């Protein structure tokens, strides 16, 4: 959900300006010891208050076979029109529907809870919503989105915030469980099993760490309910983490925030760093034992917005083994905003993230049903095959496209599950 960012417009800019794009780097010249030992120790002490992300000897091994063997579900005459347009579409469509396509963030559950939105019925897209439903998932080859369990900042850190999350989880499950073509998924194995059976899989993530109310018990309650990631903040700084678009209160994470991340690691719940401040991002990387995600963020080198991430952050993300899932929101992918963005801008952001971080660390996080403007050519989930075509057109291999469509996201989810099981002493 990013519509509330839109309402704020560029008011976040002063906060962004206050956040350094890189953290101070502390180095101690050991050759000058002991003469400068005292100074060196002082330097080390100062370093500890601004942790750099720990370098990890992470080698991306896409051991998951992210294929479900699906067939082309695009209807006629659209399919024939595309094939007549460019023979490359034959390869694009075969690849797209055969791949497990994930999406880090769709806000449809808010509609389901508040507007009695029937997920199994086809809806005509309208401004800002009705981008995803089951028929559109089937047509667009979207196999396993994360349903965003979004809690508005207006709930604050009151019990009502947690109640709101629980109510949305219950409604999402109620609707999904009543439908034939889709099942709830709570693990990577679930996603593989469900999608290979020809059905769609729905995962869930919590957006808005304030709903945890700083409590590991609440985190465990929501994880039991099925959430598989927590976006540490929404647009608001909360009692344990700073947001990208709000006041700096902790200069990143405080001790409660670090404890919550350790518990997420233990539970196998992914740490989602979309919406957080740059300092929170680096603090989270320093703490998290599992790879992290950005469920719906784009790149700042192309579109200067505090919700997007810098090239330095992209490199740190790759060191961590995580994934950035590129947000389609027009304001995040085109500098001049709402009306000029096109599908090509999405591909540009994917391509830039791949150039800087590597092809193993990039995925899709549309923000469908959570943003007021989408780029021309990407009006709803039925348009997703155009991402596959756009990447092939730029020379990407089938294997690399499959990673971006979902392989990377599934790898990170599996890795978080593996580390969680290890921390719980189960493996």
Residue nearer to Zn ion on the CB measure, 70 or 306? 306
The residues in 12-71 that bind Zn ion, with binding defined as CB under 5 A, are none
- For residue 386, count CB atoms less than 10 angstroms from its CB and return exposed for 0-12, middle for 13-18, buried for 19 or more: buried
Site for Zn ion in 373-402 (CB under 5 A): none
The nearer residue to Zn ion, 2 or 283, going by C-beta atoms, is 2
**The pair of three-digit structure tokens given for residue 147, joined into one six-digit string:** 């349903």
Specify the stretch interacting with Zn ion by CB under 5 A; choose among 1-9, 62-70, 311-319, 325-333.
1-9
107: contact with Zn ion by CB under 5 A: no
Of the pair 328, 396, the CB lying nearest Zn ion is at 328
Minimum distance, C-beta of residue 9 to Zn ion, in the bound complex (Å): 16
Q: Taking the complex as a whole, how short is the minimal distance between the CB of residue 59 and Zn ion, in angstroms?
A: 31
Question: Which value, in Å, is the radius of gyration of the alpha carbons in the chain?
Answer: 21
Question: Using an 8 Å Cβ cutoff, are 366 and 329 in contact?
Answer: no
The verdict on 359 binding Zn ion (CB under 5 A) reads no
Nearest approach in angstroms of CB 1 to Zn ion is 4
Catalytic site residues? 105, 107, 207, 234, 275, 296, 367
The footprint of Zn ion on residues 2-21 (CB under 5 A) is 2
Q: How many alpha carbons lie under 13 Å from residue 97 in its C-beta half-sphere?
A: 17
Quickly count: other Cβ atoms within 10 Å of residue 89's Cβ.
Answer: 23
Nearer to Zn ion, 149 or 341 (CB): 149
Task: Kindly state whether residue 1 participates in binding Zn ion, applying the rule CB under 5 A.
Answer: yes
Contact (Cβ atoms closer than 8 angstroms) between residue 205 and residue 146: yes
Q: State the minimum distance, in angstroms, from the CB of residue 234 to Zn ion.
A: 6
Listed residue (131, 126, 130) closest to 142, CA to CA: 131
CB of 2 to Zn ion, least distance (A): 4
Nearer to Zn ion (CB atom), residue 1 or residue 333: 1
> What's the min distance (Å) between Cβ of 245 and Zn ion?
10
Give whichever of 138 and 333 is closer to Zn ion, judged by the CB atom: 333
Contact 370, 297 (CB under 8 A): no
Residues 380 and 75: their CA atoms lie apart, in Å, by: 15
> Residues 204-219, buried b or exposed e (16+ Cβ, 10 A)?
bbbbbbbbbbbebebb
Q: Which of 2/417 has CB closer to Zn ion?
A: 2
> How far is it, in rounded angstroms, from Cα 27 to Cα 332?
35
Query: Min. distance of Cβ 281 from Zn ion in angstroms?
Result: 15
Q: Would you tell me which residues interact with Zn ion (CB under 5 A)?
A: 1-2
């Amino acid at each position: 959900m990013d519509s509330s960012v839109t309402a704020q417009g560029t008011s976040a800019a002063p906060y962004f300006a206050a956040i350094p794009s890189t953290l101070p780097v502390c180095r101690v010249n050991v050759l000058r010891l002991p003469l400068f030992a005292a100074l060196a120790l002082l330097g080390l002490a100062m370093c500890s208050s601004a942790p750099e992300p720990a370098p990890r000897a992470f080698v991306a091994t896409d051991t998951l076979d992210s294929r479900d063997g699906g067939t082309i579900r695009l209807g006629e005459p659209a399919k024939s029109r595309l094939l007549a347009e460019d023979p490359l579409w034959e390869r694009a469509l075969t690849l797209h529907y055969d791949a497990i396509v994930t999406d880090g963030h769709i806000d449809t559950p808010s509609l389901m809870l508040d507007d009695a939105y029937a997920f199994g019925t086809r809806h005509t897209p309208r401004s800002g919503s009705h981008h995803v439903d089951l028929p559109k998932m089937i047509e667009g080859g979207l196999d396993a989105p994360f349903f965003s369990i979004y809690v508005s900042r207006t709930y604050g850190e009151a019990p009502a915030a947690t109640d709101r999350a629980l109510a949305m989880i219950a409604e999402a499950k109620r609707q999904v469980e009543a439908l034939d073509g889709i099942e709830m998924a709570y693990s990577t194995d679930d996603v593989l099993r469900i999608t290979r059976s020809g059905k769609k899989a729905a995962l869930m993530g919590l957006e808005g760490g304030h709903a945890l109310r700083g409590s590991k018990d609440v985190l465990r309650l929501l994880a039991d309910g099925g959430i598989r990631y927590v976006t540490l903040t929404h647009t608001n700084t909360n009692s344990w983490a700073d947001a990208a678009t709000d006041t700096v209160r902790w200069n990143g994470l405080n001790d409660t925030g670090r404890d919550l991340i350790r518990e997420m690691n233990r539970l196998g719940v992914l740490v989602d760093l979309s919406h957080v401040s740059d300092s929170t991002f680096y603090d989270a990387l320093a703490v998290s034992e599992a790879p992290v995600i950005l469920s719906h963020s784009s790149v700042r080198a192309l579109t200067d917005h505090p919700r997007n991430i810098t090239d330095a952050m992209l490199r740190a993300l790759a060191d961590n083994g995580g994934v950035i899932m590129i947000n389609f929101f027009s304001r995040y992918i085109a500098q001049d905003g709402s009306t000029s963005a096109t599908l090509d801008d999405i591909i540009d952001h994917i391509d830039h993230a791949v150039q800087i971080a590597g092809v193993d660390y990039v995925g899709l996080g549309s923000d469908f049903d959570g943003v007021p403007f989408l780029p021309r050519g990407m009006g709803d989930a039925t348009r997703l095959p155009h991402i596959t075509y756009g990447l092939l057109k730029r020379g990407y291999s089938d294997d690399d496209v499959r990673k971006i469509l979902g392989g990377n996201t599934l790898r990170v989810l599996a890795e978080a599950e593996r580390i969680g099981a290890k921390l719980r002493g189960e493996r």
